Structure 1
């Protein structure tokens, strides 16, 4: 080999090594601090001519998806909002997932057994599942994750108490309860504070503010979280989907785009304008903006049953620790006025006295409903006078980050002021509002949307840590409802529980709300559950 050939050979080898190093960094999701906003990637350009064989259309390789709430954390055991869930449900998975009928379906679990008395559960894991860091999922990972989850998630803590998940062998996890729990699988399936499985070492190194790494088994892996701007996830090439037809968040899942940029777009008008400009292919649509999209053949309008709305009392506040004041507000509330203020049209709400959707036949109940939507200001004034109201200010905790919180608070404020109650709106960004809500000294009333669970034990406002519902009878009836095993026992216990919820008045149910979503025809396969989109199995076609 001559001298010149050697030089070229060495140069070529250096080039290859540099190229390999760059590729390795990209594959491992190395953050690039110079990226200030999401845009087309090199991978998207390289795959410019990918064609969907079934449709004969060119596929895009990335999706830009709007988020309407700020993200306080991506720790799935701490996540508290719809935007958090929209992201983390693509990155993490649990043992079970809900289908569209709110039924738990095995996900990372392959199968399970329950003892006849309902106290003992054995979960068999699917084998050969890998985390985003290449480690194989084992029972020790699942047990560590689930034990942390049940300590941090109020729903799980109240349900499982001191019971521990234990690794029996590499692929078997057991849970031994002190009493039967008919909601165990539902708890493991829920999408808020959800029972995500992470590597054991990630769980053990977590600090008080959450995990330090976001490593799951889901179809997408985290690449970058640019605070207050966007979250970038990319396709996990080694993802192994559960079997079965895709349904809700259960069944087959597949990453059909290379990259998703979850983009914070908190202002409603800006978010919708960005959709009209083609920056987004999916957006929520207010009633005012409906005429701009309803006659566009390239846009599908979807009306989703999204959330229910509740008024929550701070049971440790000087006023509302007294049930007489809670009764006065319950007598006053005109639910239709508040719902109309939230949605702007009767088409997007329905009255409902139950803490469950009527679609959930097993747990729907109208017990105690005579206390619902009383809209009786004279009775409210009488009760306030009896309670000794003397002009104290009622603090309404809210945020403008999502209009429904703020609009609902404005409507309640008007109703209270009309009968002589002094009020004060305390407005914060969404993340700060969540922090304030946990402070018993910071508020009196909070109105907000709730993703409706499948069982009563998942209702946050029945939990002592949420609104401070520290009531022995409430805890006893909740325990009775979750211990019931037959359908007849469940109905009887559930009716008794709901009747007492309306008597205790830790909360006042306002009603259920729907939302319009606009989806461009080039975005195919998006499904929602609880109003939260499932972005696996979603294709994006290039716009012509």
Structure 2
């Protein structure tokens, strides 16, 4: 399963799904004639193997916690048997945040992060991946479009590769992205600096495509490492921050202030916890620090220069913390290293800077999963989640009514902001653009090049 253009669950490699009346069994009939990029015909054995592997190494394997087991009664059928009713299961299963990608069964036992030559079923197949530089794809001539749809929608629907190859190039210098778009070296650019827009809008060879609410600019605390193990220290940091100043630096002014973990245009949005947001109150911060017995211990801000919005927000936050007497220090590494440090250690850092983009777009459930086991971003001591947060999360997943689940989300957001398990700064607008001879490109969470073609 995946999501459509409006982030609603849809079938992708399945042609049908039957949910039993007791909601304890989901039976999927697979699309027929689907081949992997190595030519192998996809069957339910591959689906079983993919779920087996994800249950062991998947980043959000807790998605499958409510599942008792799965099986394949025949080559075209895959069945999920639940331990208990979970009203949000299909919402979680269809998330493309870290999806359960279907891979050939022979790759079942490849360890986490070692699937270096991925083989999928989509309209494009991998040619080459050079970390930090480029990824090249080519049309998969054996691709079978999903005829249940008339057009591409979200990551699903009727998809066709209209171009021979697609090359994603990683260009960290904003000026180089602008220059490449102007000359035609790049047909599409995912992130344009705001200051370049007035000139680019005058260029008839370029189409500007703003994408609001691209991500929530955010800093995640490490509550296992002093001094941010103390709630009062975290509250002092929260009180000191001027979100306008931080977001302006992060986005060249292309932002909106945003409380919490959804956007105002989304059905789950709530402004609960706004009394903790954008306080910019140095005296309150100093009061909390005194109550905490803060003695000038370093507060290490772990960031990177690969993503300027992350680096710039950390730089401004450092200055704002130093202004209230906090010994804020920057630890700047490359993006992959910062992620590895955050994931694998609780030592040597106190805040990790990132952007939550895909998950807020998918909804509250996908977003709040960041804050619970097995990989809660606030790094709870001894990996033991805050029981109140975990209880709210369980209610978000299991309460029988939509109103009850929404109320649980409201409670979870309030707990996370009150206890400073995350510090959301605001909403970043990303400006994308294409050359004017590029047709069919529609901005989405991640660039899509199926159903995109050139006019001459």
- TM-score (normalizing by structure 1): 0.77
* TM-aligned CA deviation for residue 486 of structure 1: 2.2
2:86: which partner in 1?
181
Say which SS state the counterpart of residue 324 (structure 1) adopts.
helix
CA offset digits 1:10-37 (Å, max 9, x no partner): xxxxxxxxxxxxxxxxxxxxxxxxxxxx
1:270 alignment counterpart: 176
Aligned to 2:129: 225
Match of 2:98 in 1: 193
RMSD: 1.9
Number of equivalent positions: 442
Counterpart contact for 2:23–2:85, Cα < 8 Å: yes
Matched, 1:468 2:379: yes
**1:108: Cα distance to partner?**
0.5
| Deviation by residue 1:455-507 (Cα, 9 ceiling, x = unmatched) | 32543531242332421121111011111232222222222222222222210
Instruction: Give runs of aligned pairs for residues 252-401 of structure 1, distance below 5 A.
Output: 252-283=158-189, 284-305=191-212, 306-345=214-253, 348-361=254-267, 363-401=268-306
- Distance in 1 of aligned mates of 2:20 and 2:387: 29
From the superposition, tell whether residues 534 and 183 of structure 1 become closer, same or farther in structure 2 (CA, over 3 Å).
Answer: farther
Asked if 2 retains the 8 angstrom alpha-carbon contact of 1:339 and 1:511, the reply is yes
Report 1:478-497 matches (<5 A). 478-497=393-412
Report the Cα distance in structure 2 between the residues aligned to 1:140 and 1:159, rounded to whole angstroms.
18
The answer to whether the 8 A contact 2:63-2:93 is kept is: no
Instruction: Find the counterpart in structure 1 of residue 428 from structure 2.
Output: 513
Range 521-530 or range 415-424, more displaced: 521-530
Partners of 2:95 and 2:366 within 8 A in 1: no
Alpha-carbon contact 1:155-1:187 (below 8 Å) kept: no
Greater C-alpha Rg: 1
Q: CA separation in 1, counterparts of 2:447 and 2:290? A: 47
The Cα of 1:159 is off from its aligned counterpart by 5.6
After superposition, the C-alpha distances for 1:129-150 in whole angstroms (9 at most, x for unaligned) are 1111111111121122123224
SS at match of 1:285: coil
The partner residue of 1:238 within 128, 142, 149 is: 142
8 Å CA contact 2:182–2:206 kept in 1: the answer is no
Contact 2:66 2:84 in 1 (8 A): no
| Structure 2 counterpart of 1:146, from 51, 57, 63 | 51
Superposed CA offset, 1:497-519 (max 9, x none): 22222222210221211111121
Q: Which residue of 2 is the match for residue 454 of structure 1?
A: 363
**TM-score, with length taken from structure 2:** 0.92
| SS of alignment partner, residue 315 of structure 1 | coil
Partner of 2:448: 534
> Is contact 1:229–1:263 with CA below 8 Å preserved after alignment?
yes
Separation in 1, partners of 2:291, 2:301: 23
Runs of 4+ in structure 1 off by over 6 angstroms are none
For residue 166 of structure 1, what is the aligned residue in structure 2?
A: 71
Give SS of 1:154's match.
coil
| Residue 203 of structure 2 is aligned to residue 203 of structure 1 | no
CA contact (8 A) 1:224 1:232 kept: yes
Distance, in Å, in 1 between the alignment partners of 2:288 and 2:131 is 47
Give a deviation string over 1:421-480, Cα, whole Å, max 9, x none.
Answer: 112111111111111111211310122211123232543531242332421121111011
Are 1:501 and 2:408 an aligned pair? Answer: no
- Tell me if structure 2 keeps the 8 A contact 1:461–1:506: no
CA distance in 2 between partners of 1:317 and 1:431 (Å) = 21
Question: Structure 2 regions of 5+ residues with no counterpart?
Answer: none
- Mapped to 2, the partners of 1:376 and 1:382 lie a distance apart of 10
**What is the distance in 2 between the residues matched to 1:116 and 1:338?**
50
1:234, 1:259 within 8 Å by CA — same for their partners in 2? yes
Write the distance in 2 (CA, Å) between the matches of 1:316 and 1:437: 12
